[in-house]
Structure 1
């Protein structure tokens, strides 16, 4: 059974969607540990509620970012994590960390990548005047939101949308496609060929 480790900095709603899918038997996987760089993250509370190991790793406790990342790696290794899930983790991971888990880190971003990378993607989409927005699950590489795309979901943009209203509707789709991407990985149905992710049916 696939062992998952989740890194989260905030409320952890995408974490919850994955936990729910695992507990419902929809994903052949187990969330082994949830790690946060924010000791007040709701994600840690969600983990504890579901009897999942919850770990706080504080950046301020380490003199270098390398030391901080190594502490996270040590925890992930302790639980034999095979796939790392980023669920609102606000720290940028170094090339060392990404290489350590090459093609074994997933992230979700609230835009149809490669459009609107980085922060406030929903507001970027509104400012640009697009007619559709959405979300993207991708493998993490050394760029920001540039890794191979696994799944995407489209959300129509309404004339009266605000950043919050659009974000809310996109989040509903995130809660569907992120568990689906993890499920495909658990079933060994994802194959990376250059920039493309081939889904084997």
Structure 2
């Protein structure tokens, strides 16, 4: 595994660690402003990842899966970051501090809408990460060194289409309500 792969792993771990730290400071230690400040540091993780990847490629590295994951990760982080933090926030409040409402399990049309919103965020992530990949390919201008980017874009496109189809299917076959009645 190369250096960039380790940085990506470190950034992913850092992303969730910063969320956990920010939520702990916010709710356990009742420091809402400091918790918000810590959560606001998350984009810094993305910048570090982008800089390390760019430097490595600039200095002649051949793009690997790790290099191609960096723009993907940045697109996903920017498109889903706020919703991932909100998701973690709701569960932290309910399961850890026992103060928030129980997270809702959506069913039917609300679930279909929520799923489609997630798929549209995925489209946004693709619209951010895809051009970043294409820009790096253009900037490096060495097709043999950037071949992995083509594979990533192809796979990501397939995954995006599958995601959209699954979300659309919930409008046709909605998620049932699993309320069980004890007789």
Q: Normalized against structure 2, the TM-score is what?
A: 0.26
- Relative contact order higher in (CA < 8 Å, ≥ 6 apart): 2
Q: In proportion to residue count, which structure has more strand? A: 1
Q: In proportion to residue count, which structure has more helix? A: 2
Compare CA radii of gyration and give the structure with the larger one: 2
Q: Normalized against structure 1, the TM-score is what?
A: 0.25
